[in-house]
Structure 1
Amino acid sequence: MTYQVEKKLQLPLYQIYICTATLSKVKNELNLSSNLSITTDIWTSSSMKAFLAVTAHYINGSQLNSYLLETKQLVDRHSAGNVASALREGFESWDIFEKVHCIVTDNASNMRNAITVHLNKTHQPCIAHTLNLCTMNTLKHADLQQLLEKCKNIVGHFKRSTVASGELAKMQDQMKLPLLKVKQDVSTRWNSCLTMMQRLEELKVPLSAAMSNLPGSPSLLSSEDWALIKDCICILKPIEAMTSELSGEKYITLSIIIPLIRGVQHAVENAQPITSTGKVLQTNFHDILLRRLGYVESSKICAKATLLDPRLKILAFDKVINGNQALKWITQEVEDLIVTITQHLETPNSEIPCTQGRADSSENQASLLWEHFDIKAKQEFSASTPTHSAEAQIKQYLDLPLVDRKLNPLDFWESKKEMFPQLYKLANKYLCVPATSVPSERVFSKADELTKDRRSRLSSNMINEIMFLNSNM
């Protein structure tokens, strides 16, 4: 990414300084990081231009940091090869290709193939996207669709009619209730259905009273309808809470996927729907969640992150076999790190050179005095195999008590990095991976405002630079 600000943008000197200073800051931060994770997504603007947003995430001390690297226009077809080329070009321009070990995207096949086949990187599916698919499939039940249509008609009526909205406000005032308005759902966001039903339930009494006084209003909801609304809210609220929890950008999220999936399953299983449709929804969601996300506990990257979270460790795994497999993966990786370090430390034996002078002679004598100890130390070091050292380090880590769930796990690793040097490196590697691609999707909320009709003639390079500065300054 380059800023040819003086020739191309004709900016004042202080703005040129801001551009170059921000660019230097981001480059320096990325150079200091040994492991980076990436989120990326594609968005089409109102002017029908496609953009690829790329965000980088890494750990510095006890802080999880992120930067927007680019918002690049994609001119060619969004094939796996073209997407991979665009990503590779961006990584190489920042000189981070070798540091990137995991890329988070939605479940689209072109994105998955671009990362795993063309870039040969680890792909982590966006959990929020998968949860959205689970919920949308659950909401396809015919009886529920009929209820949602009734709710939309009621909300639409109160949104369009000033008389109806005035009557609702009047009823709330007479009943000394908070002044609330109905909320309409959005077809692309399942949680807007939940928001709509929650608001209708809050307005149940004044809404029913207002509708009975309004000629030509939509048909009232029956007692069975209200009961089904209550069942839906009970089943859908834990899913919304999990989506919100995993969409955070300032705290660790990958390691909490496994316990949160089990938590949602537990919450939905313990819901007590009273309608037959509610019971069907409960069963359907449980089955769909198991089919789409049942693999997560045995996913290598998720399992490693969970085990390396000092708040969770092996306790977060529902199945013992999956926890043991995660232990094997971490042990092997720690062992590999120890072998690498050992190879660097080992030096060929050489005889002490003959030197002249009092100082050199003193050094030789000191070496002879320590020769007996050095031989024993080398024998002791050789007796401790990398496997034994890795297992000992992990056992010591697991034997420590769990950290409070509400605390920052990176504080633990920063304080224990001397005690567990290899595990510390792995924690920085895996805990920086986001659970969702939401960070790159948030970029498009800003980009949408930037590329409105009155600014639709902005060049793609200008959009990229404005978004970069807006996100990273």
Structure 2
Amino acid sequence: RENISIPLPVKTRWNSQHHTICKVLEISLTLLNDLLRNVGRADLVLTARDIIILQEFASIFALFAEATTRTQIENSASISLVAPSVLSIYYDLEHEQANCKYLGSLCRTLIISLHERFGGLLERCEVFADSNMKIKKRSTSDLYKDDIYLIAPFLDGRFKLKWVVASNLSESTKERTTNIIKALLFKAALQLHGTTNNTSDCIIESSITECSTTDDDGMSNLPNFKRKRLFSGYEGQKTPMQKKRSCVSESIENEISMFEKELLDDTRLIFLKKDSYPYLHRLATRVLCVPATSAPVERVFSSSGILMRPHRSRLSKNMLSILTLLKCNRKLL
């Protein structure tokens, strides 16, 4: 006697329905139909055609289900999953469309939906640069043109540039895309370095100005002739900004080149080697903290045991902070 169980799908989680179908497909057709007849549900008996349709359905949505699960994690970077996931799903749908016997129209519909929702990201990857498809963009399309979706995967040790190199993009497109990503990384790291150092530069500059003003006031009563001063060749002179910037630029370029060649594929790589990549580490701290979905925040409500329907619209900042604190520290309570 075999122990067979089929999990019930949860209405609020579509991927649980996919999981249920996958469990059904693990049971042999003969045994499944016998079980249905034994429980008086002969109307649900499946034919060979039904099984093929279910198999195609499970295959089409396999990457969708995996992406849904992966992007909802809490203790690891998730924003870096967006671009690699969208690109993989897009090309997988094209493959499924060419091979599906019954659900080709479903694949076409999903491809159009990807164009509408993530068109901005697909455009930046030049996925359909030569396509004649006329797509009606949704409000989210242009949001995915943001640089963060191309920068984040590089800073994640699992991906770097592998998600581009291993894709079905043409070789010329791969080269252009990787160069664009490196340029965006360089620009973002340089800008971040500039903003974090502006305050300290202003303080140093103001102190130098005060010192030089005091010195000039003391010398103003002397006769008007060319004065000689100790250390006049270098004292009080600031290092040319261009020279400083070139040193920083060279360091950032070296970090990008070295990090790309790292063999370790741990998502925490940039944090484990923060001393080796100080500029990229600072950028990663800013970029990888962005969640890919709202799931981590929504779990605050489910963990608290409150179904936030009437409460949600009246949720104060203080209440949200308390719920988040309780969720993060529930193991200590």
Q: TM-score range by the shorter chain?
A: 0.5 to 0.7
Question: What pairs up with 1:10-25 in 2 under 5 angstroms?
Answer: none
TM-score scaled to structure 1, two decimals?
0.48
Pairs within 5 Å for 1:93-242 = 173=1, 177=2, 179-203=3-27, 204-213=29-38, 215=40, 217-242=42-67
Structure 2 partner of 1:469 = 326
TM-score scaled by length of structure 2: 0.66
1:259 shift after superposition: 1.7
Q: Distance in 1 between matches of 2:283 and 2:321?
A: 33
Q: Confirm whether residue 246 of structure 1 aligns to residue 93 of structure 2.
A: no
Which residue number corresponds to residue 344 of structure 1?
203
Structure 1 residues 269 and 436: alpha-carbon distance in aligned structure 2, compared to 1, 3 A threshold:
same
1:464 shift after superposition: 7.7
Mapped pair 1:263 → 2:88: yes
Instruction: Report the Cα offset of residue 340 of structure 1.
Output: 4.6
Given that 1:201 and 1:226 are in contact with CA atoms closer than 8 Å, whether structure 2 keeps it comes out as: yes
2:149 aligned with 1:292: no
**Partner residue in 2 for 1:416:** 276
Question: What RMSD, in angstroms, separates the aligned Cα atoms of the two structures?
Answer: 3.8
Mapped to 1, the partners of 2:152 and 2:297 lie a distance apart of 21
**Do the aligned partners of residues 403 and 251 (structure 1) sit closer, same or farther apart at CA in structure 2, a change above 3 Å counting?**
farther
Paired position in structure 2 for 1:398: 256
CA distance in 1, matches of 2:67, 2:202: 45
Determine the C-alpha separation between the residues in 1 that align with 2:69 and 2:155. 23
Displacement of 1:313 in angstroms is 4.3
Q: Is the 8 A contact 1:312 1:402 kept in 2?
A: no
The answer (yes or no) to whether the contact 1:308–1:427 under 8 Å persists in 2 is yes
The whole-number CA distance in structure 2 between the counterparts of 1:338 and 1:469 is: 37
Which amino acid letter does the alignment assign opposite residue 119 of structure 2? G
Instruction: Check 1:425–1:345 CA distance in 2 against 1; reply closer, same or farther (3 A cut).
Output: farther
**Number of corresponding residues:** 270
Write the distance in 1 (CA, Å) between the matches of 2:203 and 2:60.
56
TM-aligned CA deviation for residue 294 of structure 1: 3.1
Relative to structure 1, the CA distance from residue 286 to residue 450 in structure 2 (aligned partners, 3 Å threshold; closer, same or farther) is closer
Q: Deviations over 1:286-320 (max 9, x none)?
A: 23123212324631333343344455445555763
Q: Is the Cα contact below 8 Å between 1:257 and 1:302 reproduced in 2?
A: yes
Deviation, 1:234, is 0.9
- Say if 1:313 and 1:335 are closer, same or farther in 2 by CA, change over 3 A: farther
User: Helix, strand or coil for the counterpart of 1:295?
Assistant: helix
Q: Pick from 286, 303, 307: which aligns with 2:150?
A: 303
Separation in structure 2 between the aligned mates of residue 316 and residue 341 of structure 1, nearest angstrom: 38
1:273/1:279 contact within 8 Å kept: yes
Is the CA contact 2:300–2:323 (under 8 Å) kept in the aligned structure 1? Answer: no
- What is the SS of the residue equivalent to 1:392? helix
Q: Distance in 2 between matches of 1:397 and 1:463?
A: 39
Question: Matched residues in 2 for 1:186 and 1:397: separation?
Answer: 46
Q: Which amino acid aligns with 2:254?
A: Q
Structure 1 unaligned runs (5+)? 1-172, 354-366, 452-459
| 1:426 maps to 2:283 | yes
Q: Which amino acid aligns with 1:197?
A: I
Aligned identity (percent) is 21
Q: Give the Cα separation in 2 of the matches to 1:281 and 1:466.
A: 41
Letter in 2 for 1:181: S
- Residue identity matched to 1:277: Y
Relative to structure 1, the CA distance from residue 255 to residue 226 in structure 2 (aligned partners, 3 Å threshold; closer, same or farther) is same
Cα offset for 1:330? 4.2
- Larger RCO (alpha carbons 8 Å, 6+ apart): 1
